[in-house]
Amino acid sequence: MGRFDEAIAETKRGMELDPFNPLMSASLGWTYFVARRYDEAIGHLKKVVELAPDLAMTHIWLSWSYLMTELYGEAIDEAEQAFSLDPNPITIAFLAYAYGASGRRDEALNLLDSLLALSTQLWLDPIIVAFAYMGIGENDQSLEWLEKGYKERSPMLVHLRLFPPADHLRADHRFQDLMRRMNYPE
């Protein structure tokens, strides 16, 4: 955990082995992102978007990278593009985060309401709802949904330890307790 230089080297090796796989190339952008090397993430992911514009996840990762550098207009453009390519609960949640983090609270809350309504009709991974709450700064609600994700054994929790948008929660004792219970290696 947190061995970013090794992760970047291995991802680059994967790209050498499979140079025409846009998801492999996008993974390097994700690795730069979790390493908090946002400028490199942005530069790389922009190239991937040029090569594979229909890959929604690349737009999401580019949006996150823009958000971390406070390039809110670009972040919203990318999140909206991801949603238009693949409208699903994950892209709704990430668009809600982008709107919320960019100060467009009403739009974020409308999307959050849509997610909450969906959660009464079908199972949603609680972590995506937590992400939407993170974007609008509702830390208590976000932590409640993270806890729900823990209880339901959400597969998305594996990313939480390194996920930059959760950084503002790290000092909270509830977040620290959740990380401790997840038994991450040191």
Q: What angle do CA 87, 90, 93 make, to 5 degrees?
A: 100
For residues 39 and 57, is the Cβ–Cβ distance under 8 A?
no
Task: Based on the fold, state whether residues 186 and 132 are members of the same structural domain.
Answer: yes
Task: Based on the fold, state whether residues 27 and 41 are members of the same structural domain.
Answer: yes
165 pLDDT more than 90 = no
Structural domain span for residue 51: 1-87
Q: How far is CA 86 from CA 91, 95, 117, in A?
A: 7, 12, 19
56-68 vs 38-51: helix crossing angle, rounded to 10: 150
User: What's the predicted TM-score (pTM) here?
Assistant: 0.90
Task: Based on the fold, state whether residues 97 and 173 are members of the same structural domain.
Answer: yes
Q: How confident is the model at residue 79 (pLDDT cuts 50, 70, 90)?
A: very high
Number of domains in the chain: 2
183 pLDDT more than 70 = yes
186 pLDDT more than 70 = no
Task: Based on the fold, state whether residues 79 and 103 are members of the same structural domain.
Answer: no
Residues 3-23 as b/e (b if ≥16 CB within 10 A, e otherwise) read eeeebbeebeeeeeeeeeebe
Task: Based on the fold, state whether residues 37 and 17 are members of the same structural domain.
Answer: yes
